Structure 1
Amino acid sequence: MPRRGAVWSGAALSLAVAILGGAHVAGAQGAPRAADSLELLIASTTDVHGRLRGWDYFAGRADTVRSLARAATVVDSLRAAHPDRVVLVDAGDLLQGTPLTYVAARVAPDQPHPVSAAMNAMRYDAAAIGNHEFNYGVETLDRATGQARFPFLAANLRRTDGGRAYRAWTMVERGGAKVALVGGTTPGSMVWDRDHLKGKVTIGDIVPAVRAAAAEARAAGADVVVAVLHSGLGEPSSYDTVSTGLPSENVAARVAREVPGLDVVIFGHSHRQLPDTTIGGALVMQPKNWAESVGVARLALVRRDGKWAVASKRGTLVPTVGRAESPAVLAATDAGHARAVAYAASEVGRTTVAWRADSSRVADTPLLDFVLEVMRRTAKADLAAGAAFSLEAGLDAGPVTVAEMARLYPYENTLRAVRVSGAQLRQFLEHSARYYRPFDAANASASIVDPSVPGYNFDVVAGADYVLDVSRPVGQRVTSLSVHGRPVADTDSFTLALNNYRQTGGGGFAMLAGAPVVYDEGLEIRQLLIDEAKARGTLDPADYFTPNWRLEPAAAVGAAYASMRGDATGRAAAGASAVRATTAAAAAAQDTGAIRVRKDAPAIRRRPGLPTTLRIIGMNDFHGGVEARADTRGVRRGGADALAAAIARARSECRPPACVSILLDGGDEFQGTPASNLTYGRAVVPIMKELGVVASALGNHEFDWGVDTLRARLRELPYTVLGANVRTTDGKKLPWLRDDTLVVRNGLRIGIVGVADPSTPRTTKVLNVKGLVFGPMAPAIDERARALRARGADLVVVTGHIGGYCDRDGENDPGSAGAAGPTPCTGEVFTLARELREPIAAIVSGHTHSRVATIVNGIPISQGRSSGRGLGVIDIPLAGGAPRVEMREVVADSMGPVPPRVAALSARALADVQARVTRVVAEVAEAMPREPDEQYAVGNLIADAQRWATRADVAIMNNGGIRTGLPAGPATFGRLYEIQPFGNTLYTLRVRGRDLKAYLPKLVTRDRPRWHVSGVTITYDSTKTGTARFVAATLDGGKAIEDEQLYAVTINDFLVTGGDGVTLAEGAASVVETKVVDVDALMGYLRQLPQPVRAPTEVRIRNVAGAQP
């Protein structure tokens, strides 16, 4: 799905060199001799899709913008300027996309393949296998690879007998340096071309396969290792990774971070472009699809002690537009081109009127009905579903050619039909309608099209009459649905014609999973359309067109058409709208009436023979805290070893059969340290298993790596993660998240309900929770508590990722001894305790990293700081009496024996990242602590780094993304990573001065500013309220902000999508994703500063209350 293109300037090169430290490497021992230095170029293309020549087969005219023949001219120029120094690779999707490739596969399969011929002429060194390479079957791929004079690579692709189907890597030599090329391809082909691959090949996880291949290549003597991947950077998978059991689709960023020893990562698949960024030490690049640009990675190599090493690297994209076409490529493809031109121009029928697709996603059109009716009639189905793939498609009055049919239906899909229920049909239409954002008549100028949903996933259904009201929430838009004049009931049954991509799960239409296939004869839909035109002779819209669906309200139709044909406002606005909608929905659902705990249901059901005491041990916000950390007094606290010892001690105090214990977790288990983050939480899973957690709440930071990764971790955990108040936007339960669980200890049946923080969409990246609603907690808990009691629970406890504070200064914690009287506690968890109607025996809380041990409304509540630095212990007497709650401090080396298995697991997790985390980035002259909700030097430093990395006028950083301070002395990779562990990407927004002036007051509306800025100084008056607190803002040097001037403002992706409830993106003239990760910007900035680095201590958001006029 295309996104707004990343635009880079010299800042990209400066950042890459600074991060890599290339200048220091070359100069450390003096300039190397010429014989000991080498400039190596890695040239790349990707997603060519058969566009070998400057010819548009669909339109029958020259294409002056793109072609592989033009890319060849760029490569020839590089080779002429750098003889024996250029390596040429392609990142996949070569064999499908135009009539040229169709003819090569289907019409003249016995002739030389033009793609192989063109690439042989260009002297490619290797190509990754793309998913579209399988569209015509493995046999066509093998024919092309057999004719190629270079290898097609896929380390993660195997024959079904386990043997290699294609090479994992290859080695080439340039200028005496050995360059290894390692390939990988997206596992999505196992869904999209399942039938072509079945029984022949299987595709596994890219990351471990590339890791193993890269290690083999290094062991074989490679001086440089380049990964060539057909996989996006890190976008969500287009298929359901849980139901399919497949690894993630887009993992190029993960490969760069997780595979050691990579110098360059070239990737494709997502049809975007990325000129130059650095991830995990690797240069990461993506050329533009359709050969619109050639990627050029320039590596400066130095030789010391007989070995070549990369000293510095940078990337650029060279556009191909306006270039002459290579005579060698033209000659190599002449025969195939002639066949394709003749085939595309061949007449298959006629029409007396023009048919257009431009409005096919806002209204029923004859052109799309033509496609659907041919599908429906061929399969003899009740209904047919399909999408308008291109709004530029159409049939002109007069002859109808193969080219027009190919533009109308550009893919090699085959026709199938499945049997669906009425309920599945409604779900299908609701899922399709996600293409539209909720329409707001008061803001009709806003884009109504959701750019994260591709147009090819907006399916229209023929044969059913229905209305989509896009002013309603997603999942509630089908307001009318009937077939043959009869309203559709959930139990009705229909046959539905569709293409094989959709039937096998493409586009996330999960409701079709398991739907019985009633028709599959392997017929290509495009050929069926051609055959229909030939049989009819003259195509007449009246033979196919039956208006059967519409959008409401009427005003939305014009807005939708404008959104599709004009410029969309982008993802940022979409994210902000989603936040507002979710927040409003949650607020509207809150029960504001007087609430009382039910008195007719005891908190504990007493039965003979039960234990006398239940001990609930509570941990929370582990945040990957494998290693103990020193506090401000130098005392080492927390960590997996000490926490495990504290848990073991708490368990040993509770002796069965009289006392039984369970361990609950309050959420946020993974995100936060290199040991965890560099494995996306995998290193933490076995530790949590050894600790013996029974159930956990769903934390907001569980979403930081996206739903795909979260679901992968949930599959690996041996216990349940709970979120009873989390639903889809249409109110449905998530199939991968449970509401509650029931455990038994010595006959005692313990019901456990888990809840997530309702503010999660504001405290994680909005796009990562898109389509989810985090509703009110109390009603959800009450409902599940009743259900658990009906299932036999003797008592019900809650674990929730919701927090609060008790006596913030840490002095006098009145709840630690089990006091039930008034406490100085404030926060959501205490409000929740007062709102609950059903009796709840205890609450284990989290989220605020605070010390909580108190009793509210008769419910004991615990929270144990974070990172294993505290442990809650709640004792509930089962035969009567008051509960007792305490919070125990966890001090390293003083908690008793560490369980050996935990010690081994934590040692291994730390050892695996030791080399990276101990690498020194800079020297720091004085400590820069992170102060609570105040302006502090490390926040200024981070804001300065982000402005430097993007060459912006202003940078704004939210304090929530700054997790700890920076001590004096060596600043290591590990320490900097812990300061900014979230991996947020920086965006640069170009905004008018008037919009910037309207935005800055929002930063000072809270009690204390929770932001740091660079390039601007803000003054405010804390004695006032709201935006009236704002006094003034000036740019560096005291310059005024000019209303009509455009300013570059850098913020992270959490803020650009509305995180913290404050967004600037909607009013921006442009929103550009820089691809710079925040911690990489910080490291690059620190490296180029004079050493040791001094703390920027100036206060940039100043309170002027009480100042003299």
Structure 2
Amino acid sequence: MRMMDMFNKKLLAVVIASTLGLVACGSDDNDVPAIQVDLRILETSDLHANIMDYDYYKTKYDPSIGLARTATLIKQHGAEASNFVLVDNGDLLQGSPMGDFIAANFKRDNTLGDTHPAYKAMNTLGYSVGNIGNHEFNYGLDFLSQAINGADFPYINANVLCEADCWEGKEKGDNLFTPYIIEEKSVIDSNGNQQTIKIGYIGFVPPQILLWDKQNLSGKVSVMGIIEAAEKFIPQMKAEGADVIVAIPHSGVGTPSNPVDVNDENATYALSLVDDIDVITFGHSHSVFPSATFEGLENADLDKGTINGVAAVMPGRWGDNLGIVDLKLEMQDGAWLIIDRTAKAAPIYDKNADEPELVSADNGIRDAVAIEHQGTLNYVNQPIGKASADMYSFLTLVQDDPSVQIVSDAQIAKVKANLTPALKDIPVLSAAAPFKAGGRHSTTADADSYVQVPAGDLTYKNAADLYLYPNTMVVVKVTGAEVKDWLECSANQFNQISASSTEPQYLINWDTHRSYNFDVIDGVTYKIDVTQPTKFDGDCALLDASANRIVDLAYIQDGISITGAEFANKEFIIATNNYRAFGGKFAGTGSDHVIMELPDSNREALAQYITDETAEHGQVDPTADNNWDFVTINTSTKLDIRFETQDSALADKFIIDNQSRHLTKRADLTDEFGFAIYNIDLTSQAITK
């Protein structure tokens, strides 16, 4: 079914239901009070093992993150409601040093302990259900199975199917998890009487888990499309008597402009058009809905918190917001009808407020994970080496950067040490991207999302700060032509700059390109011409075949620069991660290009490289080799080109000391998320040092 057909059908249903509700209310006996129920649905999502309100990289409490703070909101907003339920959307088990600490202990001695700390905390809050997110698979199915067994609430997922080695008596083709549940919720109505409402919950995960966690899932599971699974199971839920159906997709909004694709990663908009879904508590993309970020989204009411008439909420990430949906139901002709709905996200912290800490921590959550918290502190403070220079990512989107350079150096070293004789004559390159470079520039918390590893002694927490995810090392073989198109897709990170405009022009494309897709390929040299249109979009789909942003692309071999057709036809090996290698998004990626899968995580390879370099040289040198730069713009027009980065004294000093282009901070201006605004001079030659 195409998107517009689904919308027309859904809109008609909403209009009919509203009309029937008005007729029913108008025809009731005035002496018989209407039976109404207020139901609140609270949602957490994308906690990423941030249970404590603590930054393990900076080794201090952080009031802007953590379930310990969100729990206070849960209790406040739950107490205000006549009736409420609590759900979690997923991406719970991975993403903070505590998650890595627990996973590392599990892998070492094959036991998780009594209960995963995430569930020690969540079990105190009365969750009705949890959904499986894509990062739940990062540590493997055995870990996932044992971890969720510690939850005092059920887990759901409707679109992951078992292929082999199924658990709990599942057979090939069965849903690996319970696809949905129907909770018979006892509620108090507006007359003070007890009623029962059947709430159906159904969960989904992006089909891309088969690419992102291929090493853990290949041959073991298959995945249905999100809409495909919804259309299969929601009629069953309705037939089984569900009064209210809550979809819990670990999936972003998506777009109203394209037809539904079975492999859509971000399918929430499409789900809002599926019959009989009443509420969508979604996540995955770390944004906040409703918010100004989604201004202009077709058929979205940001005041009511609806998409196509369906109540919808997405509560950011790391516990920085709580999703809140309020429904008013009325008994009409023996059935519950939703007569009003609103949704909003409530923050735990407001950076711009006079008193930014909007809630205090819940000490019950802190106490529940106190042992694991101390274990994590010990874990991240293990010494691994020493660095000769600061590794901050404040400039990583506008120049070659030490926080990415050291990752590339480690990946190249690891791959070269593991090459077979047949591959030793092929040049080894490395693709690495900044994982902490201003987040998604969509919340005030993103202004703190930068790597900050100072020179001096290094610990495991520093390695985890430099490489945020537990990806594994994977190697692909490509041609030089594919290297160029790989970089052309990365160059979509930048907006096109007009060489004849005096108006302010912002360089960074935050809207359609994620910074973790801004791959720098080390081992070659190149420049990016931002006055040219982009060849690919943020998903590497071709936009303009004639576009040519990547220029002066070269490989130096025996002192000779290889360029042009000779470069395009040359073979290269690229060290990268499983997410990129198997994704098939960038040119030169996909299973047919993979030539080696290493058992090491990229983070482990980085930590080992730091240790080895320190042992051999006394320290590791992360200095950027400046293998890429922008093309200097030749124009007589005075350009006003701007970019955003952290607004702090530390960032100010680092930028002054390390700029490779002339950069000027606009002291009069920060943006709505608290980022500093800098001008970058692309009309003068780069600074030589």
TM-score range, shorter chain: 0.7 to 0.9
Letter of the structure 2 residue corresponding to residue 140 of structure 1: F
What is the aligned counterpart of 1:360 among 375, 382, 396?
396
User: What is the distance in 2 between the residues matched to 1:90 and 1:21?
Assistant: 34
Residue 449 of structure 1 aligns to which amino acid in structure 2?
Answer: I
- Between 1 and 2, higher relative CO (CA 8 Å, sep ≥ 6) is seen in 2
Q: Is the 8 A contact 1:17 1:313 kept in 2?
A: no
Residue in 2 that maps onto 1:996: none
Measured after TM superposition, the shift of residue 442 of structure 1 is: 2.8
Out of 141, 146, 151, the position equivalent to 1:143 is: 146
**Residue type at the aligned position of 1:166:** F
Pick the aligned partner of 1:338 from 349, 371, 374. 374
Q: Residues of 2 paired with 1:559 and 1:460: CA distance?
A: 26
Alpha carbons of structure 1 residues 449 and 151: separation in structure 2 relative to 1, 3 Å: same
* SS of aligned partner of 1:69: helix
**Against the structure 1 CA distance between its residues 318 and 18, is the aligned structure 2 distance closer, same or farther, given a 3 Å change threshold?**
farther
Query: Could you give the per-residue CA deviations for residues 527-554 of structure 1, whole angstroms, max 9, x where no partner exists?
Result: 1111222233377564764332221116
Q: Quote the residue 1:492 is aligned against.
A: 570
Name 2:174's counterpart in structure 1. 163
TM-score by structure 2 length?
0.74
Using the aligned pairs only, state the percent identity: 29
Q: Secondary structure at the match of 1:147?
A: coil
1:388 corresponds in structure 2 to 434
Tell me by how many angstroms 1:281 deviates: 3.9
Residue of structure 1 in register with 2:681 after alignment = none
Query: Does structure 2 retain, via aligned residues, the 8 Å contact 1:384–1:463?
Result: yes
Which runs of structure 2 are paired with 1:623-702 in the superposition (5 Å)?
Answer: none
> Is the contact between residue 434 and residue 515 of structure 2 (CA under 8 Å) also seen in structure 1?
yes
Indicate yes or no: 2:128 matched with 1:125. Answer: yes
- The residue type paired with residue 140 of structure 2 is G
Unaligned runs of 5+ in 2: 1-13, 164-171, 188-195, 291-303, 350-357, 417-426, 438-449, 536-547, 648-670, 674-689
| Deviation of the 1:326 alpha carbon | 2.1
Query: Which amino acid in structure 2 is aligned with residue 144 of structure 1?
Result: A
After TM superposition, the structure 1 = structure 2 runs for residues 565-584 of structure 1, keeping only pairs within 5 Å, are 565=645
**Matches of 2:474 and 2:345, distance apart in 1:** 42
- Tell me the distance in 2 between the aligned counterparts of 1:255 and 1:33: 37
Runs of 4+ in structure 1 over 6 Å off: 16-19, 558-561
Map of 1:885 onto structure 2: none
1:287 paired to 2:345: no
Q: 1:118 to 1:369 in 2, by over 3 A?
A: same
Secondary structure of the corresponding residue to residue 209 of structure 1: helix
Name the counterpart of 1:268.
Answer: 283
Aligned ranges for residues 718-797 of structure 1 at < 5 Å? none
Q: Which residue of 2 aligns with 1:24?
A: 22
Per-residue CA deviation, residues 570-600 of structure 1 (Å, 9 max, x unaligned), is: xxxxxxxxxxxxxxxxxxxxxxxxxxxxxxx
Deviations 1:585-643 (A, max 9, x none): xxxxxxxxxxxxxxxxxxxxxxxxxxxxxxxxxxxxxxxxxxxxxxxxxxxxxxxxxxx
Aligned residue in 1 for 2:68: 69
* 2:678 paired residue number: none
Q: Which residue of 1 aligns with 2:520?
A: 460
Q: Please report how far the alpha carbon of residue 61 of structure 1 lies from its aligned counterpart in structure 2 after TM superposition.
A: 0.7
Does 2:532 correspond to 1:472? yes
Change (3 A) 1:79 1:542: closer
Change in 2 beyond 3 A, CA 1:522/1:403: same
Is the CA contact 2:388–2:622 (under 8 Å) kept in the aligned structure 1? no
1:551 is aligned to 2:630: yes
State the SS of the aligned residue for 2:210: helix
- C-alpha displacement of 1:79: 3.4
Equivalent residue in structure 2 for 1:374, among 410, 414, 437: 410
CA displacement at 1:18 relative to structure 2? 12
Which of 408, 430, 442 is the aligned partner of 2:488?
430
Name the amino acid aligned to 2:316.
K
Give 1:326's aligned residue: 362
* Structure 1 segment 382-421 matched on structure 2, within 5 A: 382-391=428-437, 392-421=450-479
What is the root-mean-square deviation in Å for CA atoms of aligned residues? Answer: 3.1
- Judged with a 3 Å threshold, the aligned counterparts in structure 2 of structure 1 residues 454 and 21 are, in CA distance, closer, same or farther, namely farther
The answer to whether the 8 Å contact 2:386/2:620 transfers is no
Deviation at 1:566, TM superposition (A): 7.5
Number of the residue aligned with 1:253:
269
Q: 2:527 touches 2:631 (CA, 8 Å); kept in 1?
A: yes
For 2:646 and 2:253, the matched residues in 1 are separated by 27
State the partner residue of 1:502.
580
Residue 817 of structure 1 is matched in structure 2 by: none
Residues 471 and 553 of structure 1 are in contact (CA less than 8 Å); yes or no, is this contact kept in structure 2? no
| Partners of 2:90 and 2:132 within 8 A in 1 | yes
Q: In structure 2, how many angstroms separate the alpha carbons of the residues matched to 1:542 and 1:338?
A: 31
Distance in 1 separating the partners of 2:289 and 2:501: 33
**CA separation of 1:25/1:104 partners in 2, compared to 1, >3 Å: closer, same or farther?**
farther
* Superposition deviation, residue 464 in structure 1: 0.9
Distance 1:19 1:356, change over 3 A: farther
Structure 1 residue corresponding to 2:225, chosen from 193, 197, 205: 205
State the alpha-carbon separation in 2 of the partners of residues 388 and 501 from structure 1: 14
Distance in 2 between the 1:125 and 1:340 partners?
A: 28
- The question of whether the paired residues in 2 share the 8 Å contact of 1:228 and 1:265 is answered with yes
Does 1:298 pair with 2:326?
yes
Cα offset, 1:122, TM superposition: 1.3
- What is the alpha-carbon distance in structure 2 between the residues aligned to residue 32 and residue 352 of structure 1? 81
Given that 1:20 and 1:281 are in contact with CA atoms closer than 8 Å, whether structure 2 keeps it comes out as no
Partner of 2:605: 528
Deviation (angstroms), 1:42: 0.8
With the length of structure 1 as denominator, give the TM-score of the two structures. 0.47
| Structure 2 CA distance for aligned equivalents of residues 75 and 35 of structure 1 | 29
1:446 equivalenced with 2:505 (yes/no): yes
CA distance 1:413–1:397, shift in 2 (3 Å):
same
- The structure-2 alpha-carbon separation of the partners of 1:241 and 1:349, relative to structure 1 and needing over 3 Å to count, comes to farther
Q: 2: distance between equivalents of 1:206 and 1:492?
A: 41
**Preserved contact between residue 448 and residue 559 of structure 1 (Cα < 8 Å):** no
How far apart in 2 are the matches of 1:303 and 1:104? 47
Tell me the equivalent position of 1:192.
Answer: 212
Q: 1:560 to 1:147 in 2, by over 3 A?
A: farther
Question: What do the CA deviations read for 1:942-983 (whole angstroms, capped 9, x no partner)?
Answer: xxxxxxxxxxxxxxxxxxxxxxxxxxxxxxxxxxxxxxxxxx
What letter corresponds to residue 413 of structure 2 in structure 1? R
Match of 1:66, SS state, is coil
| Aligned-partner SS, 1:217 | helix
Encode CA deviations 1:226-245: one digit per residue, 9 max, x unaligned. Answer: 111111111499xx999xx9
- Of structures 1 and 2, the larger Rg is shown by 1
1:52 maps to 2:51? yes
Residues 80 and 135 (structure 1 numbering): CA distance in 2 closer, same or farther, change over 3 Å? same
Provide the C-alpha distance between the structure 1 equivalents of 2:60 and 2:158, rounded to a whole number of angstroms.
Answer: 39
Q: Secondary structure at the match of 2:430?
A: strand
> Match for residue 481 of structure 1?
553
Q: Is the 8 A contact 2:255 2:269 kept in 1?
A: no
Selected match of 1:350 from 360, 382, 386: 386
- Counterpart of 1:673? none
Distance 2:386 2:591 in 1: 41
Q: Find the residue that maps to 1:480 and give its secondary structure.
A: strand
Change (3 A) 1:472 1:38: closer
Q: Cα offset for 1:561?
A: 8.7
> Is the 2:613–2:620 contact (alpha carbons within 8 Å) kept by the matching residues of 1?
no
Spell out, residue by residue over 1:375-418, the C-alpha distance to the aligned partner (whole angstroms, 9 max, x if none): 01110162111112223213212221222221111011111211
How far apart, CA to CA, are the structure 2 residues paired with 1:110 and 1:375?
Answer: 30
Asked if the contact 1:359/1:561 (under 8 Å) is kept, the reply is no
Write the deviation string for residues 182-237 of structure 1: whole angstroms up to 9, x where unpaired: 11111121221122111211111111312332222222222111111111111499
SS in 1 for 2:272: helix
Structure 1 unaligned blocks of 5 or more:
1-15, 568-1068, 1072-1109
The CA deviation at 1:280 is: 4.2
* Alpha-carbon separation, structure 2, partners of 1:235 and 1:377: 41
Looking at structure 1, the residues matched to 469 and 639 of structure 2 have their Cα atoms a distance apart, in angstroms, of 29
Shift of the alpha carbon at 1:263? 1.4
CA contact (8 A) 2:324 2:344 kept: yes
